[in-house]
Structure 1
Amino acid sequence: MLEATPLTEGWVLCHEGVGLPAVVPGCVHTDLLAAGVIPDPFLGRNEAEVAWVGRRDWTYETDLPTGSGHEQTDLVFDGLDTVAEVLLDGQLLGRTRNMHRGYRFDVTGLGGRLSVRFASAYAEAEAVRGKVGDRPAAYAEPYQYLRKMACSFGWDWGPTLVTAGIWRPVRLERWSTARLARVRPVVTVQQGVGVVELHIEVERTRVEAELTLEARVGGVRARGEVTGTRGVVRVEVPDAELWWPRGYGEQSLHDVELTLCHDSVVLDVWRRRVGFRSVELDTSADGRGTGFTLVVNGERLFARGVNWIPDDVFPSRVTRERYRRRLGQAADAGVDLVRVWGGGIYESEDFYDACDELGLLVWQDFPFACAAYPEEQPLRGEVEAEARENVVRLMPHPSLVLWNGNNENLWGFRDWGWEGRLAGDSWGEGYYLGVLPRVVAELDPTRVYTAGSPWSGSWAHHPNDPAHGTHHSWEVWNRADYAEYRSEVPRFVAEFGWQAPPAYATLRRALPGEELAADSPGMLHHQKAEDGNGKLARGLARHFALPEGDFDRWHYLTQVNQARAVAAGIEHWRAHWPECAGTVVWQLNDCWPVTSWSAIDGDGREKPLYHELRRLYADRLLTLRVRGEGLVLAAVNQAAGPWTAALELRRMSVAGEVIGAVRLELAARARAVAELPVPDGLVPDGAKEFLVVDSEGLRALYFPVPDREIPYPRPEFEVVAGSGSVTVTARTLVRDLLLQADRLGPDVRADRGLVTLLPGERVTIGVEGWETPDAAAARAALYCQEPAR
């Protein structure tokens, strides 16, 4: 039986002739940080103080034991970041140049001092650039010249912290006769029967040995034989329970066990979980363009998505528990699709396991983003090797439904001035339209492949044409008011978003001792977007009277504006289902404390946007929108059954007077949108009026003018603080009430975000982690809209 021994102990990081204790898996920065050699790069402006780390070469060392009683011993690295030489007692075992691959070295009968020498990623990238020629990119750093996580080199939300290290597990594998070198599970559903077809490759020490295979899926077993180094076992599971995305059914998972034997002796065992489901992508043309609709088990979906970036700029720190917590937050917000963005990594098994269990569909980018990527060696061979390895590694996971070739590179070629600069040089098209679809078709035929995001389906249309395929909507954030989201209906919005700073407690931890201001030194350092603060200011000015010198008010309003902006897009696009078949918000998470587009900040705290997503991505949503001279109420029903309900519509003054009211009956089919025109007499007229629609705990609001023009009354409300809750009772209109719970204590959490109360209404906010409830403290942590100053 194959024996695996993790190599986690005794590692040292060589620094200036001294061996510092090293954690494996880990990286240089975290080891230097633990040893007190560098300050925390997430705090203040320390990022700049540790830039030298990425320019150095580094060596990790430990002692490798000998002896095993087996015929073969392999040294196995699941991930090395990135350019390394592996040596044993000074003898070269091999070289690596790809963070996204694993490596195996034969060390049979060997032992001694194991050294892993990492070259600077900068040095390698610059050497490759010198060989293949310069290529354009969205950022100045040379990330496209090596197969390393691109955002290590910084992004418009991330720090530049170019690290190195043994970032995934390393072990010794000892075995005899044969081992399972690769298992490729093709999982399908055929006329109600779940089929698992296991394609096996083995490595042998004995060519003559007769090898047998036994596979088990639940209680069903099947046998097969190995011919040479290959074999296939097919297991059929009658009446297999299907795996469904959350909100559509159960997440049925089935244990699979494959055993490799010789003369009834077990040599190796492979275990995974699979789910039976079918996946299609409907890209058929219609009168409005070219669709992009995911179809799972025959059910057409509106994808309620978020973009995922690495949850830490040092991915080795992301534990199984952290993945589960972050993805659990996504599921609790109503998300059913997570797009793993192409400037990051292929995540660990823990990520996809959590998505399998939570029913989160995974859209997986291949790691290419915002740059022209050379297609010459040494990169081309690495790209195909990493694609083959990771496609097979991730195949068992039913949550994975779509492979995507790249992020924004097809768009960049057409619109960002690349074509002229390249003058015929390679830039990645051969990967996205050649290598990658070929690999997916050969190895993983049960899943969808698309060449890029955005991508219109062919060069016959502009890559980011909203009428065809996937669309990235960034002109609004960059240049316009978020009301412009309502000006078009893309077929699938794969990226859009609006910035806001992180939670107050996150800022206080990240910027110790700093007097906070929108433009204070630390705030500016933790704002990586080009003209990010300028865009925040212009976005606020379109809606609010800007608070001069009041950081707390600025902080609150920017967070409100982020939630409002994303709501404007999602409400509009969901109301146009099935023409629009999905929204993927940029972005769910952050990799450090920063002003960004995230719903959950770098310390894991939920912004108001997060709580707004819970409303926007609920199965049922009410939204009001202008049509011609009138208003239309759209009732979005993504639930499995029809929605019939009574609606209460009230035209009100901001002073609290009901000007007009009516009750209407709503009837929306399952997975459909129903529209009702608002009666003319209920349409608000001018800045002093608004419309509110209520039904079964759902509410839609319509104010006809920006907040800066609304004569809000001075908010009056009562506050009661109890054990685990804060209750607010409104005496006036209280719009966008927000309890910033982290101001009560850094570990305090609230269970809801922005809420608007009419006079006499009451809300109880659940508060977790607050040990000494106090009404005065709660009132000080409450914010809402106020009269213009």
Structure 2
Amino acid sequence: MLRSAGGPVPSSIAGRAIPASVPGVVHTDLLTAGLIPDPYLGMNEHELTWIGRSRWRYSLDFDWHDDGMRRHDLACDGLDTSAVVRLNGVELGRVANQHRRYRFDLADVLVSGANRLEIEFDSALEIVEEEARRVGDPPRPPVFPHPFSLLRKSACNFGWDWGLDVVTAGIWRPIAIESWNGTRISAVRASARADRTATVTVDLEGDGDFTATIAGVSATGRGSVELAVSSAELWWPRSHGAQPLYDLVVETDDDRVVQRVGFRTVEIDSAGGAFGVLVNGEPVFVRGANWIPDDAFPSRVGRARIAARVTDAIEANMNLLRVWGGGTFEHDDFYDECDERGVLVWQDFLFACSAYPEEEPLYSEVAAEARDAVDRLASHPSIALWNGANENIWQHVDLDWDTQLDGRTWGERYYLELLPSIVAALDTDRPYVPNSPFSWNSENHPNDPSDGLCHLWDVWNDLDYTAYADHSPRFVSEFGFQGPPAWSTLTRAVHDEPLRLDGPQLLSHQKADDGQAKLARGLAPHLPPGRDFVDWHWATQLNQARAVRFGIRHFRSLAPYNQGSIVWQLNDCWPVVSWAAVDGDGVRKPLWFALQEVYADRIAIISGDEIVAINDSAEPLDTTIEVVRATGRESVTVSLGARSVRRMPLPSGSGWVALRSDELEGDLRLAGEPVDIDLSAPRMTTHVDRTANGYRVTVTAAELIVDLCLFPDRIQSTATVDRSMVSLIPGESATFEVAVQGDIDPTLLTAAPVLRSANDLFG
């Protein structure tokens, strides 16, 4: 049961007993009880700030009877964030960290019969504001919009340039009473390497030996044991091989833990300033995306939703997801999905875009949460590396934190001393990098594109997206461009009448600084804004996709000098104008389809006066590339070895040029920007056939059609399409498979606003 415990709570809710779900948070319980409107809709976010400024008490009355066990613990997997835990009126402990697990000994407190558990949460927002006042001026920079760095809580929960400001409180992960005798297994960390050996380290509460078994091979000892599993097959990231997983069984006389492990070795190649990921000694060109919490209330995200998002990554030809440091350490289900499906995980420690104090009690909290995270996650083969923080070393340099902080700490000791020491002690075979971005040579700027990792945000903030071509990065771990969510998602959440660019509800769902103006600035050199809001929505979605596609084509054309890119971002946590490829309702935006194309294993790219043919697959390829222009076509043959790149001259000619191949994703370069060459209104024929799951739409071009997309969500919010961002040269056809529920008017599938292209912005 949930009750308010103080603060600016409305009289209709103050003192009221509210059913509580665990895992959950106050917002979700109030929403389920019908006591608040959905914070995702309209301007509701701003009407609900009182929740984050209030105190809340969870309580549970339960019966317990002696089960013969000698030890009873209250095991809390996640408490958000600052709370007092009491059983039968006795204080068990105080907590102040969302990111770690807690255990409380219930000896002499748990009684046979009736018991009462209470957890009372303070306002995290009031705590950080009070701490900021105590510390005084100058504040630790930057505060965005609250001083989130003063408490160990998810940074984006305080609001971000894509996230809403809903400061939560609650029991956000499972809680249980665990009873045991003798010896309890408190942690298992397995390092299973490509040489088919595994080091299994076990932390025990109590004395005794343990036995570890993998694939029939066992060893018994204390602390750690070594196993040689000659029969083990190697675990590989997707497109490089299979993902065999083996049960690791760890047993004592009193306890048993089962984990799944995969045998693989991960290394980082830093030679000459490179940032190259090697798995089992083989280079892996990274095609990835940044991952944020998939819901502003992460307790609502279950295995099915995680699987759907990982499917989004896989079907967009990605092989890595970066769990960004302003969010959370994800649920075990996320890492299990990545283990099973061959998606590498770049795991940030939870620091982002701010100066973090190194003094107590935060230093000890950081140490405890880092050890807890490594204990929990170290056995997952999908985790490729640990990263100390997001952008903090970079911002320390560029934003002159030393002057602003006047000698106060900002987190450097975490990234360069504490965190690497914990990784070295607990996860010896996995690489660690102090920050993203980061340069190996300390004399270089931390965001030097020629050394290590870089973030390219000059494009979104200041420059036209064609400026991506001015960079030659070794590895891009963040870059991106904004666009609105799907029409069905936007109109579910935004109800301005009429819909307009400066509508208050739309602006409430645009969190980026000067975001609408940046969208307009980024659009102007490339596409017309259109005649109305409907056209603006299509044009800005299209421009987002074209911008990121342009950047990735350029980065891939630099291979092997460039070893990968991680786009910002895969997913959203609510309906918002953002950088995401998949919006807050799970709808794939045009950007997603562009990523599916440019992240393909095999692709041909027009780069300057060259064709760059890339075969990032395990099989060699001999193929023909057709170079097509309005005035004719020419064939180019190419032989590509496995994991290879080949450059060849682009045949000369004028006007637009397209690359076509049966085995390679193609490319199209126009004679100029669409806005300059004034693409004509599309001339095409369409045909619709009924299928078992919906409809098949066939489009045949009579002239060049650029970036053809189909948006069935405009007819039915749950409808999906298998492809988009398709350009057709004269005479070419494309088919779109549309999945719908029931029947719809098929003629709606053949005209705007459902069927759209860059051309029709000019018609």
TM-score category, normalised to shorter length: over 0.9
- CA distance in structure 2 between the partners assigned to 1:175 and 1:514 by the alignment: 61
Contact residue 11 and residue 23 of structure 1 kept, 8 A: no
Distance apart, 1:770 and its partner CA: 4.5
664-673 or 494-503: which moved more?
664-673
Residues 602 and 436 (structure 1), Cα distance of their counterparts in 2 relative to 1, 3 Å cut: same
- CA distance in structure 1 between the partners assigned to 2:761 and 2:257 by the alignment: 65
Match of 2:338 in 1: 355
Residues 197 and 154 (structure 1), Cα distance of their counterparts in 2 relative to 1, 3 Å cut: same
Match of 1:690 in 2: 656
Matches within 5 A, 1:47-446: 47-66=45-64, 67-109=66-108, 110-111=110-111, 112-133=115-136, 134-190=139-195, 194-204=196-206, 211-224=208-221, 226=222, 231-261=223-253, 267-285=254-272, 290-446=273-429
SS at match of 1:433: helix
Residues 580 and 778 (structure 1), Cα distance of their counterparts in 2 relative to 1, 3 Å cut: same
Match of 1:730 in 2: 701
Contact residue 13 and residue 21 of structure 1 kept, 8 A: no
- CA distance in structure 2 between the partners assigned to 1:84 and 1:32 by the alignment: 19
Distance apart, 1:107 and its partner CA: 1.1
- CA distance in structure 1 between the partners assigned to 2:340 and 2:565 by the alignment: 22
Contact residue 194 and residue 280 of structure 2 kept, 8 A: no
728-737 or 580-589: which moved more?
728-737
1:783 aligns with 2:756: yes
The residue identity in structure 1 corresponding to 2:199 is E
Distance apart, 1:212 and its partner CA: 3.6
2:712 corresponds, among 732, 737, 741, to 741
**Cα deviation digits, residues 313-365 of structure 1 (max 9, x gap):** 11101101111110111011100010000100000100000000110100000
1:537 aligns with 2:520: yes
1:623 aligns with 2:605: yes
Match of 1:584 in 2: 566
SS at match of 2:506: helix
Matches within 5 A, 1:463-482: 463-482=446-465
- CA distance in structure 1 between the partners assigned to 2:126 and 2:486 by the alignment: 38
Q: Percent identity?
A: 46
Contact residue 681 and residue 762 of structure 2 kept, 8 A: no
244-253 or 102-111: which moved more?
102-111
SS at match of 1:295: strand
Distance apart, 1:12 and its partner CA: 6.6
Match of 1:704 in 2: 671
- CA distance in structure 2 between the partners assigned to 1:81 and 1:546 by the alignment: 44
Distance apart, 1:223 and its partner CA: 2.4
SS at match of 2:566: strand
The residue identity in structure 2 corresponding to 1:80 is L
1:570 corresponds, among 536, 552, 566, to 552
2:644 corresponds, among 672, 675, 680, to 672
- CA distance in structure 2 between the partners assigned to 1:65 and 1:197 by the alignment: 42
The residue identity in structure 2 corresponding to 1:786 is D
Contact residue 496 and residue 505 of structure 2 kept, 8 A: no
Distance apart, 1:130 and its partner CA: 4.2
- Alpha-carbon RMSD: 1.6
Match of 1:511 in 2: 494
Distance apart, 1:416 and its partner CA: 1.4
- CA distance in structure 1 between the partners assigned to 2:745 and 2:702 by the alignment: 21
Match of 1:714 in 2: 681
Match of 2:10 in 1: none
The residue identity in structure 1 corresponding to 2:159 is G
The residue identity in structure 1 corresponding to 2:119 is V
Match of 2:614 in 1: 636
Q: TM-score normalized by structure 1?
A: 0.92
- CA distance in structure 1 between the partners assigned to 2:84 and 2:714 by the alignment: 49
Distance apart, 1:493 and its partner CA: 0.3
The residue identity in structure 1 corresponding to 2:331 is S
1:649 corresponds, among 627, 633, 640, to 627
Distance apart, 1:41 and its partner CA: 0.3
Match of 1:766 in 2: 737
Match of 2:9 in 1: none
- CA distance in structure 1 between the partners assigned to 2:161 and 2:251 by the alignment: 48
Contact residue 2 and residue 57 of structure 2 kept, 8 A: no
- CA distance in structure 1 between the partners assigned to 2:449 and 2:353 by the alignment: 19
- CA distance in structure 1 between the partners assigned to 2:496 and 2:740 by the alignment: 25
Matched residues, number = 741
Distance apart, 1:586 and its partner CA: 0.3
Unaligned runs of 5+ in 2: 6-12
- CA distance in structure 1 between the partners assigned to 2:178 and 2:331 by the alignment: 20
SS at match of 2:371: helix
Match of 2:506 in 1: 523
354-363 or 732-741: which moved more?
732-741
**Cα deviation digits, residues 424-476 of structure 1 (max 9, x gap):** 11000000001001110111011010000001124311110111110000001
The residue identity in structure 1 corresponding to 2:564 is G
**Cα deviation digits, residues 713-734 of structure 1 (max 9, x gap):** 3312222222232122222322
- CA distance in structure 2 between the partners assigned to 1:187 and 1:514 by the alignment: 59
Unaligned runs of 5+ in 1: 1-9, 262-266, 653-658
The residue identity in structure 2 corresponding to 1:168 is R
Distance apart, 1:184 and its partner CA: 2.3
- CA distance in structure 2 between the partners assigned to 1:509 and 1:421 by the alignment: 43
Distance apart, 1:138 and its partner CA: 4.9
Distance apart, 1:693 and its partner CA: 1.5
Distance apart, 1:640 and its partner CA: 1.2
Contact residue 145 and residue 158 of structure 2 kept, 8 A: no
Distance apart, 1:13 and its partner CA: 6.8
SS at match of 1:370: coil
- CA distance in structure 2 between the partners assigned to 1:341 and 1:214 by the alignment: 36
Distance apart, 1:128 and its partner CA: 3.2
SS at match of 2:478: strand
- CA distance in structure 2 between the partners assigned to 1:320 and 1:11 by the alignment: 26
- CA distance in structure 2 between the partners assigned to 1:42 and 1:514 by the alignment: 18
- CA distance in structure 1 between the partners assigned to 2:400 and 2:705 by the alignment: 49
- CA distance in structure 1 between the partners assigned to 2:761 and 2:543 by the alignment: 17
SS at match of 2:666: strand
Contact residue 438 and residue 447 of structure 2 kept, 8 A: yes
Distance apart, 1:417 and its partner CA: 2.9
Distance apart, 1:252 and its partner CA: 1.0
- CA distance in structure 2 between the partners assigned to 1:567 and 1:755 by the alignment: 13
- CA distance in structure 2 between the partners assigned to 1:13 and 1:671 by the alignment: 59
Contact residue 682 and residue 705 of structure 2 kept, 8 A: yes
118-127 or 399-408: which moved more?
118-127
106-115 or 462-471: which moved more?
106-115
